[in-house]
């Protein structure tokens, strides 16, 4: 009698189907040939933070090496300190350096099937505290490359800044994001930029807002095409939530000028 995909497993993420841990491996729905090529490249260049692609199991799930540490909702608290914020930025720079010479032969990325243009790299696409694995206050892993795809490197930078400066109101920072006091967003933006290696910071806040607006259009477009979970998100009012985030970011960006 064969086991079901979750019997004897630790469920890491409740999804349909769930992401589970089996021993020292993670089993999850396939992220596709393009992401597999990316993971292979990261292994070839000895990028130490990405999980290794180990194959496909009997249920058709991709098998990845397990990266021990804290991630998900626990990741937010790790970027509150100056040291954690800088380590977060340095991890992003290390990833961008690792893919700087990646010329994918497969371009079926989840959001846009095309090769990188001049001046673009294969961005992570969802570089936030929840997708970083932390141990003893330091990043030890980078997860979830499902939204990887071609874009300028500063697209990832802007996305990371949204969640680590953060471009959220003070109430959310104090209640949900583990800040002991309202963050000094100018200092945090400059610290991230310095650790990543961006010398010019004047346009970064505008990049955050542009990225948020692009996300609204992306979710709307995918939902209209019947894609999940975007269709469910729209039905549950997610576009209105995203619009409120843009309004908050616009106020904060004005204060940064």
Number of structural domains in the chain: 1
* In contact, 31 and 19? CB cutoff 8 Å: no
Question: Which of 8-17, 29-38, 87-96, 217-226 is predicted least confidently?
Answer: 8-17
- In a domain, residue 39? The reply is yes
User: For residue 1, what pLDDT band results from cuts at 50, 70 and 90?
Assistant: very low
Cα–Cα distance between 41 and 44 in angstroms, integer? 5
DSSP conformation class of 115: P
Strand partners, 142: 132
The answer to whether residue 41 sits within a structural domain is yes
In this prediction, residue 6 has a pLDDT band, given cuts at 50, 70 and 90, of low
Check pLDDT > 50 for residue 2.
Answer: no
Q: Show the beta-strand stretches assigned E in 138-225.
A: 138-142, 149-151
Residue 129 pairs in a beta bridge with: none
How far apart, in whole angstroms, are the C-alpha atoms of residue 244 and residue 253?
14
Asked if 167 contacts 69 with a C-beta cutoff of 8 angstroms, the reply is no
The per-residue pLDDT for 15 is 62
pLDDT digits 0-9 by tens, 116-171: 999 999 999 999 999 999 999 999 999 999 999 999 999 999 999 999 999 999 99
User: Can you tell me whether residue 46 is helix, strand or coil?
Assistant: coil
- Sequence-distant (≥ 6) Cβ neighbours of residue 37 within 8 angstroms: 104, 105, 106
Q: Is residue 49 part of a domain?
A: yes
Assigned domain for 189 exists: no
232 belongs to a structural domain: no
Q: List residues bridging with 70 in a β-sheet.
A: 134
Buried b (16+ CB within 10 A) or exposed e, 150-181: bbebbbbbbbbbbbbbbbbbeeebeeebebee
218 in any annotated domain: no
Query: Of 130, 78, 110, whose CA–CA distance to 221 is shortest?
Result: 110
Nearest-10 crossing angle of helices 204-224, 238-256: 170
Which segments of 31-177 are extended strands (E)?
Answer: 53-56, 62-65, 121-123, 132-135, 138-142, 149-151
Which domain does 50 fall in, by range? 10-65
Beta bridge partners of 141: 133
Please state, as a whole number, how many other Cβ atoms lie within 10 Å of the Cβ of residue 115.
13
Is pLDDT at 213 greater than 50 in this prediction? yes
**Quick check: is 196 in a domain?**
no
Query: Is 55 domain-assigned?
Result: yes
> Is 159 within 8 Å of 211 (Cβ atoms)?
yes
Separation of alpha carbons 181 and 197, rounded Å: 27
Which bin fits 46, alpha (ψ -120 to 50), beta or left (φ > 0)? left
């Amino acid at each position: 009698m064969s086991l079901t995909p979750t019997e004897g497993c630790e469920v890491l993420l409740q999804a349909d189907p769930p992401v589970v841990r089996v021993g020292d491996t993670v089993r999850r729905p396939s992220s596709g040939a393009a992401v597999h090529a990316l993971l292979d490249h990261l292994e070839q260049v000895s990028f130490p933070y990405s999980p290794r692609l180990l194959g496909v199991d009997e249920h058709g799930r991709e098998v990845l090496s397990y990266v021990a540490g804290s991630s998900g909702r626990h990741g937010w608290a790790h970027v509150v300190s100056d040291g954690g914020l800088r380590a977060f930025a340095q991890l992003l720079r290390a990833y961008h350096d690792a893919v700087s010479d990646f010329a994918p032969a497969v371009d079926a990325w989840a959001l846009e099937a095309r090769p990188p243009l001049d001046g673009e790299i294969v961005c992570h696409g969802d570089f936030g505290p929840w997708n970083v694995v932390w141990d003893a206050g330091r990043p030890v892993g980078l997860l979830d490359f499902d939204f990887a795809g071609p874009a300028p490197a500063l697209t990832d930078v802007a996305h990371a800044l949204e969640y680590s400066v953060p471009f959220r109101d003070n109430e959310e920072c104090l209640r949900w994001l583990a800040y002991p006091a309202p963050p000094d967003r100018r200092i945090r933006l400059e610290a991230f930029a310095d650790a990543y290696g961006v010398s010019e910071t004047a346009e970064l806040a505008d990049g955050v807002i542009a990225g948020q607006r692009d996300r609204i259009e992306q979710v709307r477009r995918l939902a209209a095409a019947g894609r999940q979970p975007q269709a469910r998100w729209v039905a549950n009012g997610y576009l209105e939530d995203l619009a409120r985030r843009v309004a908050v970011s616009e106020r904060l960006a004005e204060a940064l000028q």
